[in-house]
Amino acid sequence: MVGRGQSDQGVAYDADSGAVVARHELETSGHGGIHLVHPTDGSVYLDVGEGQDGTVIFRAAGSS
């Protein structure tokens, strides 16, 4: 956390090739994260736990 040197990143990979499709600096220093898929629109949520500071939730959706 403090002095760790860099923030967390969200990275999306192509399932077939493993190539990086998208990368985004999250501005968090999390203890862990959980991915959840929305049941109707397929968007993906990332819940990053930051200890006593709570959590931050990010939403990712593909382009059409």
The candidate with the shortest Cα–Cα distance to 21, out of 29, 30, 13, is 13
Strand order in the sheet with 44-49: 32-37, 44-49, 55-60
24 neighbors 10 (Cβ within 8 angstroms): yes
Kindly indicate the confidence band of residue 39, based on its pLDDT and cuts at 50, 70 and 90.
very high
Widest Cα–Cα separation across the chain: 40
Flag whether pLDDT at 10 surpasses 60.
yes
The candidate with the shortest Cα–Cα distance to 12, out of 21, 4, 3, is 21
Computed over every residue of the chain, the mean pLDDT equals 84
Kindly indicate the confidence band of residue 63, based on its pLDDT and cuts at 50, 70 and 90.
low
